[in-house]
Amino acid sequence: MTNAFVLRLSSFVNEVGIVTHRVHFTPFDKTVEVPYGALIVEAARLAEIDINVPCGGQGRCGRCAVVVQNGNVRRRSTIRLSAADVQAGYALACQTVVEGDLEIFVPPQEEITRHLTTEKTAAKISVPFEYDWRVHQTVVKYFLHIEPPSLADNTDDLSRLERELSKCCDIRGLYAPLSVLRTLARTLRDADWRVTVVLDRGGAAPRIVDVLPGDQTYSLYGAAVDIGTTTVTVYLVDLYSGEVVEMAADYNGQIKRGEDVISRIIYASKGNGLVELQSLVAQTINKLVERTTIRHHIKPHDIYKMTIVGNSTMIHILLGLPPEQIRLTPYITTINHPPVVLANELNLNIHPQAPVDCLPGVASFMGADITAGVLSSGTHDTDKVTLFLDIGTNGEMVLGTREWLVSCACSAGPAFEGAGVYHGMRATTGAIEEVYINSQTYEPTYRVIGGGKPRGLCGSGLISLLAEMFITGVTDKAGNINLTLPTPRVRQGEHGPEYVIVWASESDTGEDIVITKPDIDNLLRAKAAIYAGYVVLAHSVGMTLKDVEQMLIGGSFGQYLNIEKAIQIGLLPDLPWDRFHFLGNTAARGAYMALLRREAREEIAAIAKKMTYLELAADNTFNEQFMAALFLPHTDMTQFRSVQKLLNGAE
Amino acid sequence: MTNAFVLRLSSFVNEVGIVTHRVHFTPFDKTVEVPYGALIVEAARLAEIDINVPCGGQGRCGRCAVVVQNGNVRRRSTIRLSAADVQAGYALACQTVVEGDLEIFVPPQEEITRHLTTEKTAAKISVPFEYDWRVHQTVVKYFLHIEPPSLADNTDDLSRLERELSKCCDIRGLYAPLSVLRTLARTLRDADWRVTVVLDRGGAAPRIVDVLPGDQTYSLYGAAVDIGTTTVTVYLVDLYSGEVVEMAADYNGQIKRGEDVISRIIYASKGNGLVELQSLVAQTINKLVERTTIRHHIKPHDIYKMTIVGNSTMIHILLGLPPEQIRLTPYITTINHPPVVLANELNLNIHPQAPVDCLPGVASFMGADITAGVLSSGTHDTDKVTLFLDIGTNGEMVLGTREWLVSCACSAGPAFEGAGVYHGMRATTGAIEEVYINSQTYEPTYRVIGGGKPRGLCGSGLISLLAEMFITGVTDKAGNINLTLPTPRVRQGEHGPEYVIVWASESDTGEDIVITKPDIDNLLRAKAAIYAGYVVLAHSVGMTLKDVEQMLIGGSFGQYLNIEKAIQIGLLPDLPWDRFHFLGNTAARGAYMALLRREAREEIAAIAKKMTYLELAADNTFNEQFMAALFLPHTDMTQFRSVQKLLNGAE
């Protein structure tokens, strides 16, 4: 064993005589010393070796498998590993306990492929309302010519600046932070008393963000940020014109520490997890900010205001607030209306004194992404009965009009994001995004993102596949695969009945791409949770889904949703197609609106206060409705007359 | 040369080929590498060797002398060094340039002896006005029993706390900083929803300082701090009873970087000087806070509010604001009314979220120590024409009544603090504090602080000596020593005529303790500046000094001042003795009052706004008055009739 790198988890450990073991990692050739009973994943972290734990270390995803080449371990769980795998030495790093000196091989970790669709839509955003920065914007710049002091007029520097601001712009009661005061004397004199004052008028008292030499009023920038569990989106906004001048999006850097919010919460609850996750998302935002500012030929420090939306877990983690209670009954956040903080408090690399405004949410599973979505979709401002839906890892929905708003969140799970499905994957290169099945031969045709060989199926591909399997009779209403069909594509697999979409010879991975009965059950549970949510919301206000006059769908997933297929599996209610509208990233758009106008910011707070949140865990009818929806498309076919008609026609 | 410690000033230096030299310091055996042309004091700082520079590195005090044992240097100045000293290798570290590899011996640095008088007065402070913390105090504690959440009531943690506060105490619109939010969920649940909320009601919105488990309302502490240029004083205050429960004082840790404000400003302007000085004063405060809290059996973190006074330079440095402009015409501060900041912003080791309130001043040389002194002396709240004086390193004075206040500051220099006088010293053990001279034999008798052998003279000793020399004819009105007197105690010395107070055989230092003509001139300039200040103030409101109905003297120096002697040299105006009142540390007492009562805090802001400040640099009559006062006691003896009478009697 090479001892080039021997680090200790804690020197205390040895001093008190606890037994420790050395763990040597290949191919890195790093050795660490850990106490008996430590997890392999903890040893790896100590050795600064990155092992992906998409499920947050719960032993559910199987992605953290390593090979124990030598030494004693105890496997607490071997889920996702076959007997042969275990025989070959595989062990889940997050579930395997060190019980002796070890030799561990870490397989190459899957890199996240960059293929994001939001960047494409950059050009589409236009200023969504009348906008005059002088009137609507809280962050402003003023160019001042301040009178230099003399023995006869020895007022202090800040008072001189205040005097001028009150004269020129009627601004009084200024607050100046130490950071500004510490450079004020120098700046005023170096600039010969001609300075640009950047002011934040968003709080109780106008606050000086910075004092810059000379006239720098020629530009003023802000940023709107949407922190998705999967994707982070940044809009760079010209605060004079109100236009989005650049946009960038990328995977949330937290993904490797958990794919869904629950995994992130679990990860955040352990050791230094919260600090690490905070840092990862801040780094993601900083990287995206840098990308937009480089393209626009400005500096990140030229951004003087940031508005952020995200679900409550994402916002808690960004603010460094422990999110544990979000997933524990009765599901309580620390705060739904966070205070405005400064960029430097969160290690965000824009102007350090820039206000960072995390928009308000409603509950643990009804965050600012949804209140912002309600704002930008106009759900709160219409006479039509509107159902607003944002399907991502969770399914959050709001039913309402100008007069009232009710909302709920369904733990749909990440099935539609490709997780929990054996050949599921994200909507990146190699993902099948659409499938058709020949009703005679049961042969599929499909479309692959990027056009190459397929590697798996993304959410829209899964919906389309499931709908086709149901319509063509490959499955029955309950999702059972009919093994009697005259095609080799249906067969008994290791995990039960399965349907082969791609033969190994045509797949990028060299193995068959299949959908199994457990996969179908996962998808049914996900869509049933969402559909049950619609019904509970409607019932709560004495309506049925037929009363919905428009259905607005936000989230990037929505953009690739085939309405017909989604209705066929019962994911969307059976309404005339013209009532559906796909709005794209409604969360980011809401953040953008709140960034621009003080009134929009106030509106979103009013939305958050006005919205009634139904906690489904406390709702008995939800479970009934969920059970009733666990079929294709539903047990009650009167709710899906268009699908019934199709099936009748097919018969 | 030992290379155990080789540090580089900047690795850049060598990379670009600039010539560097090694400087080896004994007895420390440390070596550093510095560029050609660096100062020895810079090399010492790099080597982390402490060399005292009381004058701030101006080459005026001579205290930073080191011995160059080997190597080439260039002495920019050798003031305070004799030819023999230079011959022996002595050089001023702050004025000597490295021009080759050096071998430097650093003599032992003088430690500041601890003998402070303020600690003695601890018992004397009583609550200075009616005080009921419920009404007057801005920082309060509330014990709350918060309703635990349920599925039916899933309001967020902060809102639950707010709801309870509004119910029990009618407090609304709360601001909760991230530091509080980050532990809120845990604290509420660990404490079973019974918590003590510490609230700061001093700002626009009530701010949560901390949330503590259980009922911790049994005590509440604050601290009042006076940052003197020489001495820092801390009062630990029970905010329930209003009493000062402990007091501690010590030298300002900045002293070794400059004895007076000007030296400190110069030091702060160089390199990392400001950060270093800030850290030194913060350390001094922290040490004193710790001393008081240990005695009182509490923790520094139990202090939830701090009020600070000091002159404008001390406050600028504490806040990390560059003080350069304070000493440059037209003498402009960055800010006279600093914002309230948090303890952790200044590295003050009390509760990190405690508000730290630096009280307002008026101008560069009229700081919060004086506005606080006006408050606590009652100068602003009397019908009597009052002259308030605070003599320290500077002489600041205020003339006024309930209706008006005028003020000025005289750069008296530190002569009365023992500096600028050859055998001058601070009022510590070994200082002569009182002298009498026999008018027949010219033999002195004296009293020494601590009772041992004398080492020099402190301020009150110098005043008493000067008065006696004048009254007994050892000097004339102009301060010239009469060398014809029949005593060996008057003689021609190296620096001109001198009078021997202590013979070498009786002194602690083994050398004669003398006062020289240059010493006397320094003292005359100091007292003349102060007297001229009185006159200018009185004239500015159409009065003479005879109109002064009471004279209030603040500052620890005042406590040891002999009125009779001070009048005889013309330091105090010739008023009936019963008009003089010594008030002790009026600055600290003002800070203490503002700590307790919101109204007192508002009063001090009103004082700062109301007070007219006369800039003596812009005043022609000041110079005339100064010249007229450069005599014992004054050229115009009609202003000193009591002294005239004494002299007439003596004749």
What DSSP string runs through A79-110? TT--HHHHHTTEEETTTEEE-S-EEEE-PPPP
pLDDT band for position B6 (cuts 50, 70, 90) = very low
Out of B157, B205, B334, closest to residue A158 by CB: B334
Q: Do A186 and B159 touch (CB under 8 A)?
A: no
Among B523, B464, B517, which Cα is nearest to B495's?
A: B517
pLDDT of residue A129: 84
CA distance A24 to A30: 6
Domain B6-105 grouped into CATH 3.40.50.10800: no
Range of weakest confidence among A102-116, A447-461, B368-382, B449-463: A102-116
For CATH 3.10.20.30, the residue range(s) in chain A are: 6-105
How many other CB atoms sit within 10 Å of the CB of residue A4? 10
Q: Does residue B414 carry a pLDDT above 70?
A: no
pLDDT band for position A13 (cuts 50, 70, 90) = very low
CATH tag, B138-213 = 3.10.20.880
Contacts of A364 in chain B (CB under 8 A): 154
Report yes or no: B617 at the A interface, CB cutoff 8 Å.
Answer: yes
CATH tag, B222-358 = 3.30.420.480
pLDDT band for position B2 (cuts 50, 70, 90) = very low
Q: Give ∠ CA A410-A414-A420 in degrees, rounded to 5.
A: 125
For chain A, positions 192-211, list CB contacts with chain B under 8 A: 204-205
| Look-up of token digits 């009544």 | B401
Query: What DSSP string runs through A508-539?
Result: SSSS-EEEEHHHHHHHHHHHHHHHHHHHHHHH
Q: Suggest the residue from A147, A155, A161, A178 to mutate for an interface test with chain B (most B CBs closer than 10 A).
A: A178
| Look-up of token digits 């031969």 | A441
How many other CB atoms sit within 10 Å of the CB of residue A137? 22
How many other CB atoms sit within 10 Å of the CB of residue A637? 14
pLDDT of residue B197: 98
Report yes or no: B364 at the A interface, CB cutoff 8 Å.
Answer: yes
pLDDT of residue A125: 67
Report yes or no: B58 at the A interface, CB cutoff 8 Å.
Answer: no
Q: What is the pLDDT of residues A327-359, one digit of tens each?
A: 999 999 999 999 999 999 999 999 999 999 999
Report yes or no: A324 at the B interface, CB cutoff 8 Å.
Answer: yes
Q: How far is CA B463 from CA A620, B441, B558, in A?
A: 91, 20, 12
Contacts of A338 in chain B (CB under 8 A): 181
Contacts of B176 in chain A (CB under 8 A): 335, 339
Arithmetic mean of pLDDT, B172-186: 96
Q: How far is B181 from chain A (nearest CA, A)?
A: 7
Arithmetic mean of pLDDT, B407-411: 91
pLDDT of residue A17: 60
Q: Does residue A512 carry a pLDDT above 60?
A: yes
Shortest CA distance from B342: residue in chain A? A178
Shortest CA distance from B269: residue in chain A? A186
pLDDT of residue B372: 97
Q: How far is CA B591 from CA B233, B443, B594, in A?
A: 11, 45, 5
Q: Do A322 and B151 touch (CB under 8 A)?
A: no
Out of A181, A204, A332, closest to residue B334 by CB: A181
Contacts of B158 in chain A (CB under 8 A): 334-335
Across A163-177, A606-620, B346-360, B552-566, which has the greatest mean pLDDT? B346-360
Q: Residues B506, B449: contact at Cβ < 8 Å?
A: no
Q: Does residue A258 carry a pLDDT above 70?
A: yes
Out of A324, A332, A335, closest to residue B149 by CB: A332
Q: Do B330 and A181 touch (CB under 8 A)?
A: no
Q: Does residue B8 carry a pLDDT above 60?
A: no
Domain A377-414+524-650 grouped into CATH 1.10.3470: no
| H helix or E strand, kind and range, residue B165 | helix B157-169
Q: Do B178 and A329 touch (CB under 8 A)?
A: no
Shortest CA distance from B187: residue in chain A? A334
Q: Suggest the residue from B179, B315, B324, B332 to mutate for an interface test with chain A (most A CBs closer than 10 A).
A: B332
Arithmetic mean of pLDDT, A77-83: 75
- For residue B497, say if its preceding peptide bond is cis, omega within 30 degrees of 0: no
pLDDT of residue B45: 86
Arithmetic mean of pLDDT, B124-150: 91
Q: What is the mean pLDDT of chain A?
A: 90
pLDDT of residue B124: 57
Q: What is the pLDDT of residues B196-217, one digit of tens each?
A: 999 999 998 999 999 999 999 9
Q: How far is B548 from chain A (nearest CA, A)?
A: 27
For CATH 3.30.420.480, the residue range(s) in chain B are: 222-358
Out of A189, A334, A345, closest to residue B185 by CB: A334
Q: How far is B149 from chain A (nearest CA, A)?
A: 7
Detail the DSSP E strand segments found in A348-400. Answer: 355-358, 386-391, 395-400
Out of A175, A325, A338, closest to residue B339 by CB: A175
Q: Do B185 and A613 touch (CB under 8 A)?
A: no
Beta-carbon-side half-sphere exposure of residue B448 (alpha carbons within 13 Å): 18
Q: Does residue A397 carry a pLDDT above 60?
A: yes
Q: Does residue B651 carry a pLDDT above 70?
A: no
pLDDT of residue B266: 95
Q: Does residue A486 carry a pLDDT above 90?
A: yes
Range A477-502 burial, b when 16+ CB lie within 10 A, else e? eebebbeeeeeebbeebeeebbbbbb
For CATH 3.10.20.880, the residue range(s) in chain A are: 138-213
CA distance A569 to A458: 16
| H helix or E strand, kind and range, residue A238 | strand A231-238
pLDDT of residue A2: 36
Give the strand pairing for B90-92 and B102-105. unpaired
Contacts of B152 in chain A (CB under 8 A): 618
Q: Do B335 and A159 touch (CB under 8 A)?
A: yes
| Look-up of token digits 């002396």 | B377
Q: How far is B524 from chain A (nearest CA, A)?
A: 27
pLDDT of residue B416: 76
pLDDT of residue A108: 78
Which percentage of chain A shows pLDDT scores above 90? 72
Shortest CA distance from A613: residue in chain B? B154
Sign of CA dihedral B513, B517, B523, B524: positive
Q: How far is A432 from chain B (nearest CA, A)?
A: 41
Q: Suggest the residue from B172, B178, B336 to mutate for an interface test with chain A (most A CBs closer than 10 A).
A: B178
Q: How far is A322 from chain B (nearest CA, A)?
A: 6
pLDDT band for position B415 (cuts 50, 70, 90) = confident
Give SS3 for A68. strand
Q: Do B330 and A205 touch (CB under 8 A)?
A: no
CA distance A247 to A307: 14
Arithmetic mean of pLDDT, B345-365: 97
For chain A, positions 120-179, list CB contacts with chain B under 8 A: 149-152, 154-159, 175-178
Contacts of B334 in chain A (CB under 8 A): 156-158, 181, 184-185
Query: What DSSP string runs through B328-363?
Result: STT---S-SSPPPEEGGGGT-SS-TT-EEEEPP-SB
Q: How many residues does chain B have?
A: 651
Range of weakest confidence among A73-82, B54-63, B295-304, B346-355: B54-63
pLDDT of residue B114: 33
pLDDT of residue B61: 63
| Look-up of token digits 């040299």 | B569
For chain B, positions 562-601, list CB contacts with chain A under 8 A: none
pLDDT of residue A132: 95
Q: What is the mean pLDDT of chain B?
A: 90
In the numeric block, which tokens belong to residue A63? 């992605």
pLDDT band for position B120 (cuts 50, 70, 90) = very low
Out of B178, B325, B618, closest to residue A319 by CB: B178
